[in-house]
Amino acid sequence: MATEKTDVVIVGVGAAGGILAAELGKAGMKVIGLERGPRLKTADFNPHDELRYFQRQELRPNAKRQPVTWRPNAKVRANPMSILNYGNQAGGGTVHYGTLSWRFHEDDFRARSHTIERYSAAAIPADSSIADWPITYADLEPYYDRAEYELGVSGKAGNLQGRKIDGGNVFEAPRRREYPLPALLADQSGVLFEAGARKLGYHPFSSPRAILSEPYHDRPGCTYCGFCQSFGCHVGAKSSILVTKLPEADATGNFKLVTGTMCYRVNTDNSGRATGVSYYGPDGSDNTIEAEIVILTPFIYDNTRLLLLSRTEKFPNGLANSSGQLGKHLMAHMMAKVFAAFDDRYVNVYMGPSAQKHTIDDFNGDNFDHSGLGFIRGSQVSIGPADLEAGPIGTAISLNPPPGTPRWGAAYRDFLAKYFARYGAIVAQTENLAYSDQTIDLDPDVRDQYGLPAPRLTYDWRRPNELARVEFLLTRMEEIGRAMGATHVWRAPLGPGAPGAHHEGGTRMGNDPKTSVVNRYGQTWDIPNLFVIGSSTFPSMSGFNPTLTIQAVSYMSANAIVNRYKKNPGPLV
């Protein structure tokens, strides 16, 4: 067994881990990063290949070798999921994601107390475990700003220090300055969506994206190639961790990345202090890294699984689980869709990046009055392709035909041939509530290629609050489709209840060690030198994608480790 020693070991070098590696390395700390997949280069993403990256999911975990199982409730056996929507290489999901880079609203951080103040406690479903964050928007605003400028985010401000600006998101929380880069060019679907939404009195704007709209920090601007989400960027215009923070970490001389690894245990001593991690190397060898600080930043399944796998006599229910909250409060976005198709014009959603979309925030968070609606919280609504990618394969898989048109045969062929370039998908990315019975644990029946238990998700979004919200939004989206001038408007079928996109929860952050796993900096209550950072710590979600908030929290946590913990190791209060 090979053993190395370092100041810090980071498990998972993606949206959070890459930032922490760069920031801690710049502070003079020796850092080793463990990554399950390879470290790719920009040149590896050329030529584009829809089969390789979309159909075969090459930039994502192999669902057979690294299975994740799902069941709607604890009474049934879980089955392996066929597609895993997160990263499997250095840079994580930021290599292939659609780049949407949102700041959360102010009320997203206090969804429970805000709801009670405006509608009373009775508005919150009795079985929901939704909770306030231990941090506020004001706490994160400087770190949101830093992430946008250091990584490179394109957009248009809608609230500059309290001054509302049409053309940006007028519902956003105040920001100190404009985005570092102008918004990407609008595509035809965005133009049509903008006109239709304004006709209905809504406030459309160009979504903020971690894609360079023009050259920035020695990287070129977007070429609008059309191969973006599910693909790596062939010119480096996508502001992934791969091309932003990992080179910074390398430049410190204090960072070492080990790829092809599988971390299977966080090691602790008799006092309960973390001493490092054990991992399998790419050659199958069993290795140990001894470290003063252990930071877990992989996807939420693996955060929870690793803590459960690391149980000891002192921590029989998993590390950092004295609260009993480990693995609980799983959340995910449910993507309700309405299709709008045109007989008299082309829309061409396959052209340009899939995230090159327009959005309305009118129905997100608590931006509208929920009185008498039968649900709380909301969704941002955007226009784009049917799924993650708008090429022929992606469209054939994801563009559900309208009622009366079969999914096979000559009629289906004719439908695709006519509407491939003549449709847009209006999507509601719904903010689903936390429930304590929606969990991640270890599957007793399914194991991965290393013989380790697979993460098991117990989750069903189909609850009264969520169903009422989806129905409300589907109706609004149908209205928008008609206002856009579409010839045909129809709903996509709803899913079976499985978690959708942007999973959050499992290692909740909070102010009370009795009801949370980590504090505001991701430091575990039980083990002060063990940190968990990423969307697994979110106490509630938002209608927005979590990546920019993960990155802002990572900057905040890195600042606390460098300027406080490094000088005085112990609980950060």
Give CA–CA dist 11/255, Å, rounded: 13
- C-alpha separations of 249 from 41, 149, 471 in Å: 16, 17, 46
Give CA–CA dist 96/519, Å, rounded: 30
The two three-digit tokens of residue 568, written as one number: 């005085």
Give CA–CA dist 299/15, Å, rounded: 10
Taking alpha carbons only, the member of 84, 22, 90, 104 closest to residue 550 is 104
Q: Which residues pair with 238 in a beta bridge?
A: 211
Q: Is 563 exposed, middle or buried (0-12, 13-18, 19+ CB in 10 A)?
A: exposed
* Phi and psi, residue 293, nearest 5°: -135, 135
Q: Is 502 a catalytic residue?
A: yes
Instruction: Yes or no: say if 4 and 27 are a contact pair by the CB < 8 Å rule.
Output: no
Taken in order 378, 383, 389, 393, the sign of the CA dihedral is positive
Give CA–CA dist 528/489, Å, rounded: 54
Q: Which of 96, 333, 502, 503 is catalytic?
A: 502
Q: Residue 153, Cβ neighbours under 10 Å: how many?
A: 27
Taking alpha carbons only, the member of 40, 557, 1 closest to residue 257 is 40
Q: Is 556 left (phi over 0), alpha (psi -120 to 50) or beta?
A: alpha
Degrees (nearest 5) of the Cα angle 111, 114, 117? Answer: 150
Give CA–CA dist 389/50, Å, rounded: 9
Give CA–CA dist 81/388, Å, rounded: 17
Give CA–CA dist 18/551, Å, rounded: 9
Give CA–CA dist 230/96, Å, rounded: 5
Give CA–CA dist 395/515, Å, rounded: 44
- C-alpha separations of 79 from 63, 68, 443 in Å: 12, 8, 10
Tally of helices (H runs) and strands (E runs) in the chain: 11, 20
CA Rg value for the chain: 23
Residues sharing a CB contact under 8 Å with residue 199, sequence separation 6 or more, in sequence order: 483
| Active site members | 502
